[in-house]
Structure 1
């Protein structure tokens, strides 16, 4: 398909201007937030725990580990989230997951890509069970992973992990119930021996799904597993 001419692009942008991905008001560019929604987003990054990447309220020095990791360090190499979970972050996640708004995958991916750790071999999205995939028509984590991969020029594989057991919706369950629900629900179907894997998801809540995926990847020989997501629920039982 031939590219649109400049005059026609101007007409299209006038009739159909870019809109804030959260509230829908017109904005200057695609994937940009309006000032009001932007102010409600809390972007995450260092200073954070050197082990799990939970943000610190102030810089505690390089290599500092949070109390939770001192007591029980996670198997993964940290959860890197673009933003803290809140009203605006939730609107994007729900719009992608249930509203068919595939375009917001790139909106999420742009700040996520800046948080990728060094030396990544594979981006691997958290898989859906085949029944849920057939009903929804797509895996939101795979859309985000592909967008991050394009931006950061990192390989993406949607075939590394499979969810072999249909699990219940985790929303509303306790941390213990979530972990029980996803235990041994994932299998590795590709060679990941010695690979540094980044597991990609939309929202990190209790960490149960990430822990189950990490366990499967490490058992299959992955060198390390980091978690990269759009939003992270802070102050819960992560």
Structure 2
């Protein structure tokens, strides 16, 4: 009873607000009607390698143009949102705005799309930040998403399985070729965690996929360390119109 009274008082002082615009909503960690309608959730036929929505229907695995032209080192990939509108605002708030509260509902959205690629013994690992960027930002948004997602999917979780030993410049504005060149060999398996990767399936978690260069470098590192298979999942996939 005391807990119920406390929750009632908290709701009176801090009513639930929309994750995106701040308008009052009925439940915690939700979106108002307008922001929900403006959020491009992935549904229907999607690219089996990156999760990008595809037109039409199919009874087999299909690939988008990007994944047909750039072979992916991972087996399957999923995305919860298309990176535009409300999705873009949520990603940027999580990544640069200290909005840790977004990770919880975002992981639920990711879990719905990712569950079909989960296999027995799979371990979830986040795309790492370089130490200098980690100290500046104080948190890794991919790790926030990954830990919550692992909980939803019942997966083993290792926050420091991958390391980025060399810093890379911002990839914003870089071409696809530049992104791949900058990321080549920059991500490796943490030697202290190599036994957590070898011989088992790995799910790599990130916030956004643009060209796939970062996820590709992470997947190659896992495979080099003996992972039996690698899949990837992201909160948002950048489309051609983003």
TM-score past 0.5 threshold: yes
Deviating more after overlay: 114-123 vs 36-45: 114-123
- For 1:204 and 1:150, how far apart are their aligned partners in 2? 22
Q: Contact 2:50–2:237 (CA<8 Å) still a contact in 1?
A: no
Matched, 1:170 2:163: no
Q: Contact 2:73–2:220 (CA<8 Å) still a contact in 1?
A: yes
- For 2:3 and 2:69, how far apart are their aligned partners in 1? 60
Gaps of 5+ in 1: none
Gaps of 5+ in 2: none
Q: 2:54 is matched with which residue?
A: 56
Q: 2:119 is matched with which residue?
A: 119
Three-state SS of the structure 2 residue aligned to 1:124 is: strand
TM-score by length of 1: 0.91
Pair 1:86–1:66, CA change in 2 (3 A): closer
Three-state SS of the structure 1 residue aligned to 2:100 is: coil
- For 2:39 and 2:51, how far apart are their aligned partners in 1? 18
Q: Contact 2:147–2:157 (CA<8 Å) still a contact in 1?
A: yes
Cα shift readout 1:76-112 (whole Å, capped 9, x = no counterpart): 1232100101121121111111111111111210110
Matched, 1:160 2:161: yes
**CA RMSD, 1 decimal:** 2.0
Q: 2:218 is matched with which residue?
A: 213
Note the 1:31-42 alignment, pairs <5 A. 31-42=29-40
- For 2:86 and 2:166, how far apart are their aligned partners in 1? 32
Three-state SS of the structure 2 residue aligned to 1:167 is: coil
Aligned length: 235
Matched, 1:132 2:133: yes
Within the candidate set 185, 204, 209, 2:209 is matched to 204
Note the 1:66-145 alignment, pairs <5 A. 66=64, 68-116=66-114, 117-119=117-119, 121-145=122-146
Q: 2:188 is matched with which residue?
A: 187
- For 1:195 and 1:153, how far apart are their aligned partners in 2? 15
Within the candidate set 212, 231, 237, 1:226 is matched to 231
Q: Contact 2:48–2:77 (CA<8 Å) still a contact in 1?
A: no
Cα shift readout 1:110-137 (whole Å, capped 9, x = no counterpart): 1101222121511100000011111111
